[in-house]
Amino acid sequence: MSQQELHDLLVQLEHQRKQLDPISSEQNHRLDDLIESLEQQKLYPDDFDQYSALGTEISDFLIEYESQHPALAVVLKSISQILNNFKA
């Protein structure tokens, strides 16, 4: 998986986020933090420890909100797979 694929998924994530029904301020804040961290990792792809932390953050988000936001969950799962591939 490439940096371009990660970039494309971040674009999809932003698109899906705009399509969501109103979400709580906590969910919104967590998504902001997650997107910001992913953008930083896109700029510094050799920082693998951060990829591990981001994978955990994505998993935690999915556990809590997957049933409420399935389209968003699909994109987050794809991002998580890319991050796992970067670690390999």
Q: Average pLDDT, stretch 60-84?
A: 84
Q: What is the pTM of this model?
A: 0.75
Q: Exposed/middle/buried for 29, CB within 10 Å: 0-12, 13-18, 19+?
A: exposed
Give the pLDDT confidence score for residue 48 in this predicted structure: 52
* Sequential DSSP letters for the chain: --HHHHHHHHHHHHHHHHHSPP--HHHHHHHHHHHHHHHHHHH-TT-HHHHHHHHHHHHHHHHHHTTT-HHHHHHHHHHHHHHHHHH-
Tell me the pLDDT tens digit for each residue of 11-70.
Answer: 888 888 888 766 778 888 888 888 888 887 777 666 655 556 778 888 888 888 788 888
Point out the least confidently predicted range of 6-10, 15-19, 39-43, 73-77.
39-43
Contacts of residue 9, defined as CB under 8 A and 6 or more positions apart, other chains included, come to 75, 78, 79, 82
Give the pLDDT confidence score for residue 45 in this predicted structure: 65
The Cα–Cα gap between 56 and 2 comes to 20
Give the pLDDT confidence score for residue 47 in this predicted structure: 61
